[in-house]
Amino acid sequence: MNGANDMAVGPGGFVPPNPGGGATTHSGPGPQPQQQPQPDAFTAWHDARRPHAGDTALAGNNPLVAAANPLLDLIPQIRATGHHPSPAQLREHLVDEVRRFETRAQQAGIAPEVIIGARYCLCTAVDEAAALTPWGGSIWSSQSLLVMFHNETWGGEKFFQLLSRLVQNPQQHLHLIELIYFCLAMGFEGRFRVIDNGRSQLETLKQRLLQIIRQARGEIATPLSPHWQDASAPVRRTRHWLPVWAVGAVAAVLLVLVFAVLTFNLAGHSDGAFSAVNAVRLPQTQRAVAVPAAQPRLQRFLEPEIRDGLLTVRDEADRSVVVLRGDGLFASGSDRVLDRYAPVLARVADALNAVEGNVLVSGFSDDQPIRSVRFPSNWQLSQARADAVKAMIATRLSRPERLRAEGRGDADPLVPNDSAANRARNRRVEVTLLVAPVAGVPVPGSAPQPRQQQPQGGTR
C-alpha cells in the first residue's frame, strides 16, 4: 500500500490500524522542559500508548463496538510491544477494561447474551496478542482473561464456531458480527495461525465477512448536495396548537410504552440465543496445564448439610462444586434468599475460607419462560439469584474479591426438563471453587464436556 488512499475501509468507516506506523516526529531541537517526577514503569508504558483524540476505531452506528473501542485499541499496541515492565499490572488493567466494557454495553441497552458473546471474543483476541509477545508467556499461560471470565484456556476454535452460528442470521446479530470483524482486522488469527495456508484462508474469511456486513446494512445513497433547498418553495411557519411541554410529555409516554413492548419482545427471544451460545462445545484438545488428582476439599466440612439434604458436593480434579436446590433457597419467581438458608450459606463461606482459589457462583433455571417486569427472562432471574447468593457469602468470606457471579438461564440442565420433579432439580445455584492449575504438564481434555446426569440426593 502506497498511502492512506490505498487502505481498505471496513464497516462504519473503520480503518484497520498499522501497528508501529504513523508516529508523529518533531523536526529540530526545541527548548528543554523542566525535569518532572518520573512515573512508575507501568504508568509510563500505559500513558505512552493512551489513544489520542481521533485515534479510536470508528464505531459508526454500532453501540457494541463503541463500548469495546478501548479494548480494541489496546490489541495492536500489546502485539507490537517487545518488552513490558509489569505484565501482571497490565493484566489487572485489562480485567478492569473488560468490566468497564460490560458496564458501557449495559448502559447502551445491549442484550446480556450479546455482551457475553462479545466479552468472549474480546478476551480471546487480547489473550492471543499478549501470549505471542516475549513477555506474555510468563503470566498469560495460566492467568488469561478467558480463564478469568469464562474459565477456558483457549478460545481460538470456539471464536470461529460462534461466528459460524451468527452469520446464519446476520440481520439479527449484525452488531456482534461487526465486533468479530474488528477483532480479525486487529490481527486475531486463532486456529488459522497453526494450520497450513491459514493466513490466506483467514484473509478470504475476512473478505466474505465484510460482504455479509455490507449486505446486511444495505447501500446508503449519499446526496450530491445535502444542504440543497428549492428556492421557489416558500418557508411556512408552523403553528403551535399545543404547548411544547405537553408535546414532550406525550412523546415521553409513547417512548416508555414502546420501550416496554420492545423489552418484553426481546426477552422472549433472548433465552434461545443465550442457550445457543452456551451450547457450543470445543473439540477434545491437549491442555498446557495440569491439575492435581481429585481430592475432597469441601465435602468433609459440609457433611452435616449433605446428610440433611440441604446441598450436594462434587469434588473434581480442578474444582469443587456445591449445588443448592433453588426451590428451597428462593420463593417462586424471587431472588431473595430465604432466612432458613442463611446458616447454610455461612457454612459454605467457612468451607471456602479454608481452601485457596477463585469462586464462581452460577444461577440456573428450568426451561419454563418467565415474564415479569423485574425479570423479563430466565437469564435475568438466574443472574439475580447468583448475585444474591454471592452477596451473602461475601459478608463472611475473608477475601470477597475471589467471588464472581453469573446467570446461566436454562443452560446445562442436570436432567431433562420433561417433568415437574426434573425441572425442580434444574432450578439451582452452584458455588464452584476453582483450583489454580499447575503449569508445565500436558493433560488431555481441555474442552468442557456436557454435564453427566446424577441421581437425586447424596454427595455429588
Question: Is it the case that residue 44 has pLDDT exceeding 60?
Answer: no
Mean pLDDT for 330-359 is 92
Angle (CA) 270-69-78 rounded to 5° is 120
The helix, strand and coil proportions of the chain, stated in percent and rounded to the nearest 5, come to 45, 10, 45
Residue 58's pLDDT is 47
For 311-316, the CB contacts below 8 A with 24+ separation are: 311/344, 311/348, 312/457, 312/458, 312/459, 312/460, 313/459, 313/460, 314/454, 314/459, 314/460
Which residue type sits at 93?
Answer: H
**Can you give the pLDDT at residue 264?**
60
Distance CA 312, CA 325 (A): 9
What is the average per-residue pLDDT within 186-207? 89
- Dump pLDDT digits (tens) for 135-154: 877 677 778 888 889 988 88
Portion of the chain with pLDDT greater than 90, in percent: 39
- Burial class of 222 by CB neighbour count within 10 A (0 to 12, 13 to 18, 19+): exposed
Please report, to the nearest 10 degrees, the dihedral formed by the alpha carbons of residues 189, 194, 199, 205 taken in order: -60
Delineate the domains of the chain, giving CATH numbers in brackets: 10-15+49-217 (1.25.40.590), 286-444 (3.30.1330.60)
- Higher-confidence residue of 218 and 157: namely 157
Confidence (pLDDT) at 226: 54
Give the chain's largest Cα–Cα span: 89
Mean pLDDT over residues 61-87, rounded? 89
270-323 tens-digit pLDDT: 555 555 555 555 555 555 555 555 567 888 899 999 999 999 999 888 899 999
Question: What are residue 353's DSSP bridge partners?
Answer: none
Question: Residue 316 has what pLDDT?
Answer: 87
Confidence of residue 237 (pLDDT cuts 50, 70, 90): low
46's grid cell: 500505559
163, 58, 91, 433 alpha-carbon torsion, rounded to 10°:
-40
- Decide: residue 114, CB within 10 A, 0-12 exposed, 13-18 middle, 19+ buried: buried
pLDDT digits (tens, 9 = 90+) for 164-192: 999 999 999 999 999 999 999 999 998 88
In whole numbers, what is the pLDDT of the chain averaged over residues?
77
pTM of the model: 0.41
